[in-house]
Amino acid sequence: MKFRTRLVITSLSIILVPLLLTSITFLLVGSHIEDAETEFGFLNKNASYIYTIENYSRITEEVLEDVKQQIAENPRKLEDKDYLDELTVDLKDKSSYIIVRKDDQIYYAGNHNAARKIFDTLPEYGNEMPNTETGYYYNDMKKLVKQVDFRFSDESEGSFFIVTSISSLISKKMLRNMIAAFVLVLIFTSIVLTQWIQKGIFTPINQLNIAMQNIAEGNLEYMLPTEGKGEIGELYRNYEDMRLRLKESLDEKFEHEKKNRELVSNISHDLKTPITAVKGYVEGIMDGVADTPEKMDKYIKTIYNKANDMDRLINELTTYSGIDSNRIPYSFRRINVADYFGDCVEEVGLDLESKNIQLNYEDLVEPSTQIIADPEQLKRVINNIIGNSVKYSDKEKGIIDIRILDEVDSIRVEIEDNGKGIAAKDLPNIFERFYRTDASRNSSKGGSGIGLSIVKKIIEDHGGYIWATSKEGEGTCMHFVIRKYQTVPKE
Examine the domain organization and report whether 246 and 366 are in the same domain.
no
| CB-based contact 352:359 (threshold 8 Å) | yes
How far is the C-alpha of 58 from the C-alpha of 135, rounded, in Å?
11
Distance between alpha carbon 254 and the CA centroid of its chain, in Å?
A: 26
Do the domain assignments include residue 325?
A: no
The CA angle 218-220-225, to the nearest 5 degrees, is 140
Examine the domain organization and report whether 40 and 171 are in the same domain.
yes
Examine the domain organization and report whether 90 and 210 are in the same domain.
yes
Do the domain assignments include residue 491?
A: no
Q: What pLDDT score does 452 carry?
A: 87
Examine the domain organization and report whether 310 and 345 are in the same domain.
no
Do the domain assignments include residue 73?
A: yes
Length of the chain: 491
State the CATH number of the domain containing residue 310. Answer: 1.10.287.130
Give per-10-residue mean pLDDT for the chain (491 aa).
62 70 66 48 36 58 83 84 88 84 90 88 76 62 83 88 71 66 76 72 78 83 70 78 85 77 70 83 86 87 84 73 67 94 89 86 93 92 90 87 93 94 88 63 52 88 93 92 80 54
Q: What pLDDT score does 217 carry?
A: 82
Q: Which residues contact 417 (CB under 8 A, 6 or more apart)?
A: 389, 392, 393, 398, 399, 400, 401, 475, 476, 477
How far is the C-alpha of 12 from the C-alpha of 255, rounded, in Å?
56
State the CATH number of the domain containing residue 365. Answer: 3.30.565.10
Q: What pLDDT score does 191 carry?
A: 77
Quick: pLDDT tens for 249-290: 888 788 777 767 776 776 676 677 788 888 888 888 888 888
Listed residues 275, 297, 320: the one ending a domain? 320
Quick: pLDDT tens for 186-210: 777 777 777 777 676 777 778 888 8
Q: What pLDDT score does 337 carry?
A: 95
Q: What pLDDT score does 320 carry?
A: 65
Global confidence as pTM: 0.47
Q: What is the CA radius of gyration of the chain?
A: 56
Listed residues 320, 339, 365: the one ending a domain? 320
Q: What pLDDT score does 40 carry?
A: 38
Count of domains observed in the chain? 3
Residue 285 CB-half CA count within 13 A? 16
| CB-based contact 10:2 (threshold 8 Å) | no
Examine the domain organization and report whether 167 and 140 are in the same domain.
yes
Q: What pLDDT score does 45 carry?
A: 36
3-class DSSP state for residue 147? strand
Q: What pLDDT score does 51 carry?
A: 37
Q: What pLDDT score does 47 carry?
A: 36
Q: What pLDDT score does 108 carry?
A: 92
Domain extent for 246: 230-320
